[in-house]
């Protein structure tokens, strides 16, 4: 019986040039008429590559490192071929490739396959174990990974063994450069993706954690909030456009309650209680399930009364006719322009305004503010607290004139 031809070739994948002008090095295994190709997760500039011999040029440290890895890969491929022959198994390019990538023929798990299965389960557990926003973030992360794989590797999916530390680093680069995500947003997507890798590790589908040497850190962001003058300006500004007036009122309500967007949107009469002549909002935060206990101030009560008979409120049972978060944020930019405010207003800046201008600047203790915001610890509240200049000046007046200049 004629022995099938066997060949191993290393080449540059020219259609996959990276941002640093390097190309990925691929291995091509040929056994008879069967062929299989896969990335070796090595990268080199075209000028530093010898296509006729399939090695890196030169004697630099980087070239030696690449050539050593290529020699090891070649030896490994030949070893797997011999192993299959000794076991009496059929030797094909695919079977050798699967051996090299530690993929069993019976279980070719892919990263997007596992990710989709996770998201499908997550969807069924909405409002049980997951908030709708959590599911949405995983869906968005899935799409980012899907687009990254297609744009980088030209594939619809990759097997788990191809998810290496370099894969993670390239994905982070893709999020920041191609998708224009800021550092914190990219980090949150990486954390979502890490959960999928943990599922694979827990089920022994992969042996090594590609995140093992990758550390996450969230940068502190000085979020915007309205000063007292700016808040009064927004409250009292004459706005004749109905949609902007509605958005302004919902935003001001959030400024005087500290509720997050989703909690304002889902607010009903069942969340309002009267105690000793004071109306309170008492509800669990959707994000953390922690209780928020907030006595309603007059501006917030006035806004509830204003929309009591609004058609949307009557139809849905919600206290306020809240638009989508995207529309709210878009219209808040218009409101900022109308009011001459040079800050990037969003629904979340209302929560910061409550924590600073409405409460802390008026000497409400941080412990009380933490309870109203529904935080599980004061350390979380400190991220929201911004000491405004008026508060510093007010406190410093207490000691003015107490100390005299030493003559």
Please give the pLDDT value at position 280: 94
**Where does residue 6 rank: exposed (0-12), middle (13-18), buried (19+ CB within 10 A)?**
middle
Q: Residue 406 pLDDT > 80, yes or no?
A: no
Lowest mean pLDDT among 43-57, 283-297, 334-348: 283-297
Please give the pLDDT value at position 103: 65
| pLDDT, mean over the chain | 88
- Interatomic CA distance for residues 16 and 25, integer angstroms: 10
Please give the pLDDT value at position 1: 43
- Interatomic CA distance for residues 119 and 24, integer angstroms: 31
Question: Are residue 237 and residue 381 in the same domain, yes or no?
Answer: yes
Question: Are residue 276 and residue 375 in the same domain, yes or no?
Answer: yes
Give the number of other CB atoms < 10 A from CB of residue 128: 6
Q: Which long-range contacts (CB under 8 A, 24 or more apart) does 117-122 make?
A: 118/195, 118/196, 118/199
**At which of 50, 72, 100 does a domain end?**
100
pTM (global) more than 0.75: no
Indicate the DSSP class of residue 220. P
Range of the domain at 358: 228-394
Please give the pLDDT value at position 175: 95
* CATH code of the domain covering residue 182: 1.10.150
CB neighbours of 120 closer than 8 A, spacing ≥ 6? none
- Residue 307 has phi, psi (to 5 degrees) of -105, 15
Comparing 105 with 124, the larger pLDDT belongs to: 124
Q: Give me the DSSP letters along 238-260.
A: ----HHHHHHHHHHHHHHTT---
- Interatomic CA distance for residues 332 and 244, integer angstroms: 8
Question: Are residue 281 and residue 387 in the same domain, yes or no?
Answer: yes
On whether the CB atoms of residues 6 and 31 are closer than 8 A, the answer is yes
Q: Residue 326 pLDDT > 70, yes or no?
A: yes
Tell me if 255 is assigned to some domain: yes
Lowest mean pLDDT among 201-215, 300-314, 378-392: 378-392
Assign 190 a pLDDT band (cuts: 50, 70, 90): very high
- Interatomic CA distance for residues 205 and 107, integer angstroms: 9
Lowest mean pLDDT among 169-178, 199-208, 396-405: 396-405
Please give the pLDDT value at position 172: 95
Assign 88 a pLDDT band (cuts: 50, 70, 90): confident
**Where does residue 354 rank: exposed (0-12), middle (13-18), buried (19+ CB within 10 A)?**
buried
Tens digit of each residue's pLDDT (9 = 90 or more) over 13-24: 988 888 889 999
Please give the pLDDT value at position 389: 58
On whether the CB atoms of residues 99 and 115 are closer than 8 A, the answer is no
pLDDT above 90 as % of the chain: 59
Q: Residue 108 pLDDT > 80, yes or no?
A: no
Please give the pLDDT value at position 386: 57
Question: Are residue 130 and residue 66 in the same domain, yes or no?
Answer: no
Please give the pLDDT value at position 76: 94
Mean pLDDT, residues 274-295 taken together: 89
Tally of domains within the chain: 3
Mean pLDDT, residues 27-39 taken together: 91
- Of 25, 18, 22, 30, give the one whose Cα is nearest residue 40: 25
**At which of 100, 129, 147 does a domain end?**
100
Lowest mean pLDDT among 150-159, 212-221, 288-297: 212-221
Question: Are residue 143 and residue 180 in the same domain, yes or no?
Answer: yes
Tell me the three state secondary structure of residue 342.
coil
Q: Residue 34 pLDDT > 60, yes or no?
A: yes
Tens digit of each residue's pLDDT (9 = 90 or more) over 40-59: 989 999 999 999 999 999 89
Tens digit of each residue's pLDDT (9 = 90 or more) over 113-122: 999 999 999 9
Distances (CA, A) of 388 to 18, 322, 358, 364, 393: 46, 30, 11, 14, 9
* CATH code of the domain covering residue 277: 1.10.443.10
Tell me if 69 is assigned to some domain: yes
On whether the CB atoms of residues 258 and 294 are closer than 8 A, the answer is yes
**At which of 100, 122, 154 does a domain end?**
100
Tell me if 217 is assigned to some domain: no
Tell me if 404 is assigned to some domain: no
Question: Are residue 79 and residue 120 in the same domain, yes or no?
Answer: no
């Amino acid at each position: 019986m004629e022995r099938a031809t066997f060949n191993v070739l290393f080449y540059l994948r020219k259609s996959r040039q990276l941002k640093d002008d390097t190309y990925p090095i691929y291995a091509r295994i040929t056994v008879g008429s069967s062929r299989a190709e896969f990335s070796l997760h090595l990268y080199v500039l075209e000028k530093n590559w010898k296509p006729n011999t399939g090695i890196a040029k030169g004697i630099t440290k980087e070239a030696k490192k690449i050539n050593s890895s290529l020699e090891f890969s070649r030896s490994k491929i030949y070893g797997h071929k011999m192993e299959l022959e000794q076991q009496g198994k059929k030797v094909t390019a695919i079977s050798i490739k699967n051996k090299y990538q530690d993929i069993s023929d019976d279980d070719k798990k892919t990263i997007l396959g596992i990710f989709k299965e996770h998201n499908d389960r997550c969807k069924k557990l909405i409002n049980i174990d997951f908030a709708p926003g959590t599911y949405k973030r995983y869906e968005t992360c899935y799409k980012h990974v899907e687009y990254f794989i297609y744009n980088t590797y030209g594939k619809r999916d990759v097997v788990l063994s191809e998810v290496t530390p370099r894969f993670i680093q390239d994905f982070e680069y893709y999020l920041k450069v191609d998708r224009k995500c800021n550092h914190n947003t990219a980090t949150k997507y990486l954390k979502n993706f890490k959960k999928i890798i943990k599922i694979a590790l827990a089920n022994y589908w992969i042996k090594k954690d590609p995140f093992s040497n990758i550390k996450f850190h969230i940068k502190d962001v000085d979020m915007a909030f309205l000063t007292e003058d700016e808040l009064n300006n927004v409250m009292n500004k004459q706005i004749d456009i109905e949609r902007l007036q509605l958005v302004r009122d919902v935003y001001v309500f959030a400024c005087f309650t500290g509720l997050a967007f989703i909690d304002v949107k889902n607010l009903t009469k069942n969340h309002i209680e009267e105690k000793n002549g004071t109306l309170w909002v008492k509800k669990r935060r959707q994000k953390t399930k922690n209780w928020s206990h907030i006595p309603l101030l007059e501006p917030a009560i006035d806004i509830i009364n204003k929309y009591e008979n609004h058609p949307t409120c009557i139809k849905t049972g919600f206290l306020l006719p809240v638009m989508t978060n995207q529309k709210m944020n878009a219209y808040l930019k218009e409101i900022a322009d109308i009011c001459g405010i040079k800050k990037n207003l969003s629904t979340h800046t209302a929560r910061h305004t409550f924590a600073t201008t409405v409460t802390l600047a008026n000497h409400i203790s941080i412990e009380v503010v933490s309870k109203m915001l529904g935080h599980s610890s004061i350390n979380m509240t400190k991220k929201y607290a911004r000491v405004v200049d008026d508060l510093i000046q007010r406190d410093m007046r207490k000691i003015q004139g107490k100390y005299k200049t030493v003559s």
